[in-house]
Amino acid sequence: MSDFLSKFNKDKYDDLVNEKEDKEIKSSDNKKEQKQEEKVPQQKHEEQASAVEKEEPVYKKHEPVPASSSLSSRSGRRQDAEEEVEIDLDYRRKKKRRMWLLISGAVLACILIFFIYYLLVHVKVENFEGQPVADVRAWAEENDVEIELEQEYSMEHDANHVISQSVSEGDKIKKGKTLQLTSSLGADPEEVIPLVDFSEMSQEEAQIWIEENKAENLQLVTEYSDDIEAGGFIQFSIKDSSIDESEYKRKDSAAVYYSRGEEVFEKNITIPDFTGAAKEEVEKWAETNEIEMTYEEADSDSVEEGNIISQSEPADEKIAKRDEMEVVVSAGKAVVVPNFGGVTAEEAAMNYPDLNVTVKHAFHADVAYGTLISQSVEADTKLTNKDDKDVTVTYSQGRPYLHDFRGQTEGDLPRLFYEEYQSKGADINYIVKYVDSPEVKGTVVDMGVFNEFVPMTYTVEVRISNNASAPPNPPAFDEGPEDIYPEPGAGGADGLEELEPELGADESPDSLEETEE
C-alpha cells in the first residue's frame, strides 16, 4: 500500500485520466463515422426497397434474398446491437471517488498506525497526590517511567506520601521519561509543640490533639487502675526527665496515661490444698497465677518449720487473678516467756536455757529489794527460732544507800559514783569543796551525807584536802569496810538494817556473771 501511495500523485493521476479520455473520444468518433458510413447504404437500400414495394402489387411472390444481402443484414444487426450499448457518463466521477476513498483509507491507516504507536509509547498519568510513594513506584515500574523524588516536611501529608507531581492528572508522559514527585517527610521533628493540660481533657480529646499536632512520639496509653475510673487521666511523663514540658519537641518520646478502670478477672483458678506443703511451693503457685498472697507466721508443735499450717481459702474453690489469699506458715515450736516476777534473779539466769536471759539490778524508790522491776519481753509471749530470744530482766536493789567515801582520792570519785549508783538507775552526783586538812592533797576528808539512804536523785558535797605538804599515804577504798560502811550505831538502826542487803546486792552480780560464764 505504501509503495502504491508513493508512486501515485496528482499529476500522474491527471495524465492517466486525460489519456484515457482522449482514447475514449477517439474511439467514439471512429464509431460514429463507421455508423454513419453504414447508415448511408442502408438508408439507400431501405428507400429502394420501399419504392419497389410501392410499385409491385401486394400479392407479389417473395423472391429469395441473395447471400450478400443476408451478410449485410447480419452486419446491420450487429451494428444495431453495438448501438444499444450505453456509455456511463458517471464513470469518471465514480473512478475519481474510488481513488479518493483509497487515498482517505491510506491516510486513516497512517493516522491509526501513528495513534497506536503513540498509545504504545505514552502512558496516562494518574493523580498521585496523597498516595504512598511505594504505590507510585509500583505504577512507574509497571509503566516504564522513571521517578525523581524530592522530600520536604509537611503538616498536611503523612510521611512518604506524595505532595505534588510534575505531570498533571490526565496528561500523558512518554515511557522512559522522568516523573518528578515531591513527597512528605511528615511533620518537622524539631518543632517545639506547646503541650496542653491533659488532666482537663478526655481520652478522645487527647487522641484528637495528638493527631492534629502530628505528635507521633506521644503515645496514648491506657492501663487498669483501682483508684481512677475508666477514662480518667492518670499521668503525663516525658521519657527524658531532663526535658521540661515547655521545651517538648515533636521528636521527644512521651506518654499520657488514662485509666481503663478496675480490671475484673474471671474466677477460673482452682485452689490447691496447701496444708503441710512447703512455703516455696505456695510462692511459685501464687506467682504463676498472679495471686496476691499474704504470709503469716505462727508456731506449731506438729507442723515442721517452713510448711503451711492453714489457708484462708478452702481447697478446690475457684479464685480469680489478682485476688487476695492468705496462708499461715509454721515457725516451728515456740518458747513461752515466763513471768520473771515469780523467780529470783539467780533462778531467772539459770532455769531458762531456751532463752538468752540477762539479769540487771537497779535502784528503785518504790520497789523492794530483790523484786522484779521489769522484763523486756512480756510474759506468755511465744518466741520462735525466727524471733529474738534475748530477754532482759531487772531486779530492784531498793533505795540507794550513800556509802562513806572518806579516805578515797578525788580521782576515784567519778568511777565510784557511776558504778555504785548511776549505772543502777540512781542519779546520785557530787560536788567538790576544797578544805585545809592535814590529809594528803586530793583525799576525801569529809562528806555532807554518808552511810544513809538518799533519794533516787541526790547531790552530795564532798570535801577534798588541799594540803600539798602532807606525806603521801592515801587509804585504799578496799582496805576495810570500816572506811566505807558505817560503824554500828553510827548511821542509826536503819543504817545497820540496810547494810546486809547492800552486801548481798554487791555480791549478786559477781555470782551471776560466774554462773553465766
**What single-letter amino acid sits at 367?**
V
The structure's pTM equals: 0.38
Topology of domain 125-184, CATH: Trypsin Inhibitor V; Chain A (3.30.10)
pLDDT band at 205 (very low <50, low <70, confident <90, very high): very high
Task: Tell which CATH architecture fits domain 267-330.
Answer: 2-Layer Sandwich (3.30)
Mean pLDDT of 214-218: 89
**Residue 469, SS3 per DSSP:** coil
Give the pLDDT score at 178.
87
Q: How far apart are the first and last CA of the chain?
A: 137
Beta bridge partners of 218: 254
Give the pLDDT mean for 488-511: 38
Minimum mean pLDDT range among 29-38, 75-84, 396-405, 492-501? 492-501
> Which helix H or strand E contains 31, and what residues bound it?
helix 10-55
Q: Cα–Cα distance between 172 and 495 in angstroms, integer?
A: 132
In the predicted model, what is the mean pLDDT of residues 212-222? 90
Question: Could you confirm whether domain 198-259 is CATH 3.40.1000?
Answer: no
Domains 125-184 and 401-485 share a fold: yes
**Interstrand relation of 324-330 and 308-311 (parallel, antiparallel or unpaired):** antiparallel
DSSP symbol at 468: S
Structure-block grid coordinates of residue 476: 585504799
Topology of domain 401-485, CATH: Trypsin Inhibitor V; Chain A (3.30.10)
Domain ranges of the chain: 2-87, 125-184, 198-259, 267-330, 335-396, 401-485
Tell me: pLDDT of 40 over 60: no
Helix axes 10-55, 67-83, angle to 10 degrees: 140
Report the alpha-carbon angle 256-262-268, nearest 5. 130
| Bigger pLDDT: 515 vs 199 | 199
Instruction: Quick: pLDDT tens for 130-139.
Output: 889 898 888 8
Arithmetic mean of pLDDT over the chain: 78
Task: Find where cell 481447697 sits.
Answer: 315
Pick the CATH number of 335-396 from 3.30.10.20, 3.30.1490.20, 2.40.160.20, 1.10.3720.10: 3.30.10.20
Quick one: which of 286, 297, 194, 200 has its CA closest to 249?
194
> Given this model, what pLDDT does residue 125 score?
86
- 162-202: per-residue pLDDT in tens? 988 888 888 888 888 888 889 888 888 888 999 999 999 99
What's the pLDDT at 33? Answer: 57
Exposure string over 134-154, b if 16+ CB within 10 A, otherwise e: eebeebbeeeebebeeeeeeb
